[in-house]
Amino acid sequence: MCGIAGVIDFDQDISEQTAIFKAMQTAILRRGMDQNGMHITKHAALLHTRLAIIDPEYGRQPMQYTDGQEIYDIIYNGELYNTAEIAAQLRKEGCELKTHCDTEVVLQAYAHYGADCLHHFNGIFAFAIWEERKQRLFLARDRIGVKPLFYYQSGNQLIFGSELKAILAHPAVPHEIDSNGISQVILFAPGRTPGCGVFRNMKEILPAHAASFTKQHGLMISQYWELEAREHTENFQQTVEHVRFLLTDAIQRQLISDVPIGTFLSGGLDSSLISSVAAREFAKQGRILHTFSVDYLDNDKYFQKSKFQPNSDPVFIREMQAYLQAEHHWTILNTAQLANALFDAVHARDLPGMADVDASLLAFCKEIKAHVTVALSGECADELFGGYPWYRDPEIRSAYGFPWSQNIADRLAFARPEIRELLEQRKDMDQAYQATLARTALLDQESDTEKRMKEMMRLHLDWFMQTLLDRKDRMSMWHSLEVRVPFCDHRIAQYLYNIPWEWKEYQGYEKGLLREAMKDYLPERILWRKKSPYPKTHHPHYLTTVSKLLEDRIAKPDAPILKIIRKEALENLIYGNDPIQFYGQLMTKPQTIAYFIQLDYWLEAYQIKICV
C-alpha cells in the first residue's frame, strides 16, 4: 500500500509551495517508505509515498499517461485483485501497457472508460487522477471502504489525503472541533459517522463513492455501487458451493505479491480459514506459509472466561500451527508496551481510538513487518455472516439503536453539563441510526426477521466494520505493513446480503453457513470453535497502569479533556466498581480508561481548539 495526498487550488498558482507539499508528504511517510514522488503544476499538486508490492522497479508514482488528447497523472493507494483480467481486456481494446503493476492498469482504465472504470475493479483502493487539460481532479474509493480518503474543501481549494495528518499539515486547515466533533468523540467513538473526519469541516469520501472537482462545478460526489436486495434463488447446497468458491477465490487472488507475504492467525474460524487456504496454495508452489499470532504476558495465569470470550486463543493457535505445518511467529506483549503504544496509536489514527485494541495491533504489526510486507487478516467475516452475539440474540437485535452502543446515557454522563445539553439537543445518534435504516435495501415480500437481519448487516457494514477497517489500516500502515482482508471482497458482501438468515446460522451455530462451506479446510475443533473476540490482556497491572496514567493527566487543572468531560465522572471511572461496556465487549473498564487517556492526549498533542 501507499500514502496519497494532494492540493487543488483554482484561485492561485501553487507551484512554488513545495515546502507545504513536503510537509504533507512527510506526514504520511510511514505508509510507504520505499519511494516517494510529487507532481506539481500551476493549480495541482499530487503527492505520493510508496510501499512497493507489485512491480517495485516500474511502479513509481505519480505515474503519467497521455492518449494524445489528455495528460493523466495518478497517485494510487491500493491493490487490484483482477489486474490481469483488466489488463488483458485493455490490450484487446487497443491499449498498450508498459508494466505489470496495477497502478498503470487503473490509470489506463480511467483514460479508456472514464469513471465507469470503477465497475471493472475488484480490490481495495483510494486514488486521485489529475487531468491537466480539463483541469479536473477525479477521486475514488473502493466499494467496502478498506482504504481511506479524507478531504477538506474551502471554496476553489481542495486538500485531500490518505490520513487526516496529511491534510492537517497544510497551514490553511485549522485544528478545530465543533459540536459535531465533540459528539463524535463522546457518543460515537471509537467509531465515527460515515463521511465525517471529526475535525471541523473535515470529511471523507464514502465507500463506493467517487468525486470530481473542477472550477466550474466544484466538488461533485456520486455513488457507483450499492448492496442490492434480490431474491435468493439458489438452494442450500448451491449456496454452500457458491460461498466456498467466492471465499477461496478471494483468498487466492490476494496472495499475489512480489514481496514476502503471511497471514494473521488467532486460532479462530476466520483467520484459520484464510491461513489454511493460503498454506495449500503455498504448498503447490513448494513454499512455506508464515503465520503470526499475538498474546499477552501472563494471560495464561490471569485469563478470565466470559460470555463473550469463553476461551483463550493459544491452545487453538498451536493446533492450527501443527495442522498447517507453517512457520509460526509469536508476539507476546507486556503491560508497558501496551500502555506506551496508546500514544503512538493516537498518531497513527489521528484520533482517539479503540484504546489497547489499537495499541496491541500497532505493536503486533511492528513485529510482523520484521518478517513480511503483506499479511492477510480475517476482519469482516462476522459482519457478513452474522457472527456477533447481537445478531443471534433476538432481544438485542430487535432493540432500538446501535447494538454495540446501547449505553448512550452512560456516555452522556461523562460530559460537562453544557456539553451534555448540547449533545442532547443535537440527537445525533438517533438521526444516524434512522438514516442508516433508511439506506437499507429490502424486499417487500421478506419476513420481518429477514428485513431486520438486512438492517443489522447494513448497520455493521456502515459503522462497526468501518471502525475495524480504520484500525486495521492505520495501525498496520504506521509500520508500512499492508494488510489485506479477503472477506471484504464486494462479491462476497453482495452475495451474503440476500442469503436467508436460517442458512447463515446453519445448525444453530454462528456463521454456520461459513463453517459448512469450508469444513474441509480445518480440524473439527477449530471448525466448530465458538467465536471469541480480539484478544486483550487480563493482567491486573494493566488496569493499575492506565488508571494511574489517567489520574495523573486529570490532576492538571488545564488538562484539555476537562473542557468537555467531567473530572468527577473520570474519577468515578477510575476508583468505582460500576460495570461498563463503552463499545460492546471490546471496551470494558480498562479500555474505557485508556480511551479517555487517548482523548486527552489527542486534544493536547494536536493542539485542538474547541469551538462551541
Q: Which is nearest to 535 in space by CA: 277, 331, 321, 261?
A: 331
**Model confidence, pTM:** 0.96
The length of the chain is 612
Q: Which residue has the cell 462479491?
A: 491
Cα–Cα distance, 602 to 345 (Å, whole number): 10
For residue 190, is the peptide bond before it cis, meaning its omega torsion is within 30 degrees of 0? yes
Cα–Cα distance, 216 to 455 (Å, whole number): 39
Cα–Cα distance, 448 to 139 (Å, whole number): 38
**pLDDT one-digit tens code per residue, 4-30:** 999 999 999 999 999 999 999 999 999
Mean pLDDT of 238-263: 96
Mean pLDDT of 496-514: 96
Give the residue numbers annotated as catalytic, written as ranges.
2
Burial class (CB in 10 A: 0-12, 13-18, 19+), 423: buried
**pLDDT one-digit tens code per residue, 361-391:** 999 999 999 999 999 999 999 999 999 988 9
Torsion 491-515-503-437 (CA) sign: negative
C-alpha cell at 591: 479500555
> What per-residue confidence (pLDDT) applies to 539?
85
**pLDDT one-digit tens code per residue, 38-94:** 999 999 999 999 887 777 776 789 999 999 899 999 999 999 999 999 999 999 999
> What per-residue confidence (pLDDT) applies to 308?
61
Of 518 and 588, more confident: 518
> What per-residue confidence (pLDDT) applies to 587?
87
- Measured from the Cβ of residue 87, the count of other Cβ atoms closer than 10 Å reads 21
Query: In sequence order, what are the beta bridge partners of 50?
Result: 2, 35
Exposure string (b/e) for 242-265, b if CB count within 10 Å is 16 or more?
bbbebbbbbbebbbbebeebbbbb
Q: Say yes or no to pLDDT of 552 above 90.
A: yes
> What per-residue confidence (pLDDT) applies to 530?
86
Cα–Cα distance, 74 to 129 (Å, whole number): 4
Q: Which is nearest to 172 in space by CA: 4, 12, 31, 49?
A: 12
Exposure string (b/e) for 453-475, b if CB count within 10 Å is 16 or more?
bbbbbbbbbbbbbbbbbbbbbbb
Residues contacting residue 207 through CB under 8 Å, at least 6 positions apart: 141, 142, 143, 144, 145, 466
| Residue pair 480/32 in contact by the 8 Å Cβ criterion | yes
Q: Say yes or no to pLDDT of 307 above 80.
A: no
Give me the DSSP letters along 533-576. -S-----HHHHHHHHHHHHHHHTSTT-GGGGTB-HHHHHHHHH-
Cα–Cα distance, 466 to 485 (Å, whole number): 13
Measuring CA to CA, how many Å separate 166 from each of 20, 22, 173, 425, 453? 10, 10, 10, 33, 38
**pLDDT one-digit tens code per residue, 149-205:** 999 999 999 999 999 999 999 999 999 999 999 999 999 999 999 999 999 999 999
Mean of pLDDT over the chain: 94
| Residue pair 2/61 in contact by the 8 Å Cβ criterion | yes
Mean pLDDT of 142-148: 97
Cα–Cα distance, 17 to 111 (Å, whole number): 29
Task: Sort strands 44-50 and 261-264 into parallel, antiparallel or unpaired.
Answer: unpaired
Cα–Cα distance, 335 to 360 (Å, whole number): 10
C-alpha cell at 398: 430487535
Q: What percent of the chain has pLDDT above 70?
A: 98
Domains in the chain: ranges and CATH: 2-223 (3.60.20.10), 236-406+419-527 (3.40.50.620), 540-607 (no CATH)
